[in-house]
């Protein structure tokens, strides 16, 4: 088999497996626990309607699988500052030379983003101030990366040109 990566835009709601089966009008299989936590997922913009209450294809996803694959955002159509902050796991500042701070921020995906800040006079160097300034650069970069992901999720790989 080959390997692929992908990004989808979904709507979701927490729902046990038993509640999902009831919602679909299905009989709960004996060998499955109806209390298993997960989510009803609707794949937005995909069509292939398979339930009267939804315009798109729906399915149920195990909670741990959902949590590993999806990052909920605050607003449906944009990345918020809070989304960016929530995507950052930790920041580690490092002093470079006499007057530069490098801030390495690790994201939820394990990807590292580095921001830099320098002062003019080494006597004025402060790692906390440098970290705050470098973090602004990291936030700007991450905002762009998350915007790219949101655009992919909304439009897939076959987006129409905006020109």
Are residues 15 and 52 located together in one domain of the fold?
Answer: yes
Are residues 86 and 151 located together in one domain of the fold?
Answer: yes
User: Where do we find the tokens 């959902």?
Assistant: 66
pLDDT band at 159 (very low <50, low <70, confident <90, very high): low
* Structural domain containing residue 85: 81-155
Taking CA atoms, 18 is separated from 13, 56, 57, 58, 136, in Å, by 14, 21, 19, 15, 45
Q: Is the pLDDT of residue 163 over 60?
A: no
Q: Is 5 domain-assigned?
A: no
Name the average pLDDT for the chain.
94
Q: What is the arrangement of strands in the sheet containing 88-96, beginning at the earlier edge strand?
A: 88-96, 100-107, 112-118
* 3 against 20, higher pLDDT: 20
C-alpha span between 39 and 41 (Å, rounded): 6
Are residues 90 and 42 located together in one domain of the fold?
Answer: no
Are residues 29 and 52 located together in one domain of the fold?
Answer: yes
C-alpha span between 109 and 53 (Å, rounded): 34
Average pLDDT over residues 107-118: 97
Q: Is 2 domain-assigned?
A: no
Are residues 27 and 91 located together in one domain of the fold?
Answer: no
The stretches of the chain forming alpha helices (DSSP H) are 17-24, 63-69, 81-87, 127-155
Model pLDDT, residue 112: 98
Q: Is 3 domain-assigned?
A: no
Are residues 149 and 85 located together in one domain of the fold?
Answer: yes
Are residues 31 and 88 located together in one domain of the fold?
Answer: no
Model pLDDT, residue 156: 86
Neighbours of 26 (CB within 10 A): 9
Q: Is the pLDDT of residue 162 over 70?
A: no
Read off the pLDDT of residues 41-51 as tens digits, 9 standing for 90 and up.
Answer: 999 987 899 99
Q: Indicate the residue among 69, 90, 115 that finishes a domain.
A: 69
Are residues 88 and 55 located together in one domain of the fold?
Answer: no
Read off the pLDDT of residues 10-26 as tens digits, 9 standing for 90 and up.
Answer: 999 999 999 999 999 99
Are residues 94 and 62 located together in one domain of the fold?
Answer: no
Number of domains in the chain: 2
pTM for this model (two decimals): 0.84
Average pLDDT over residues 93-120: 97
Are residues 46 and 95 located together in one domain of the fold?
Answer: no
Q: Is 45 domain-assigned?
A: yes
């Amino acid at each position: 088999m080959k390997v692929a990566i992908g990004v989808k835009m979904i709507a979701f709601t927490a729902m046990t497996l038993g509640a999902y089966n009831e919602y679909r009008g299905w009989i709960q299989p004996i060998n499955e626990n109806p209390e298993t936590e997960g989510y009803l997922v609707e794949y937005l913009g995909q069509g292939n309607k398979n339930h009267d209450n939804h315009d798109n294809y729906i399915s149920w996803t195990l909670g741990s699988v959902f949590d590993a694959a999806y990052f909920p955002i605050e607003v449906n159509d944009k990345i918020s500052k809070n989304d960016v902050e929530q995507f950052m796991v930790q920041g580690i500042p490092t002093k470079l030379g006499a007057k530069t701070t490098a801030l390495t921020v690790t994201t939820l995906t394990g990807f590292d983003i580095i921001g830099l800040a320098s002062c003019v006079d080494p006597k004025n160097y402060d790692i906390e101030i440098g970290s705050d300034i470098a973090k602004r650069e990291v936030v700007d970069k991450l905002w762009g990366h998350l915007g790219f992901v949101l655009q992919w999720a909304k439009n897939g790989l076959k987006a129409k040109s905006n020109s």
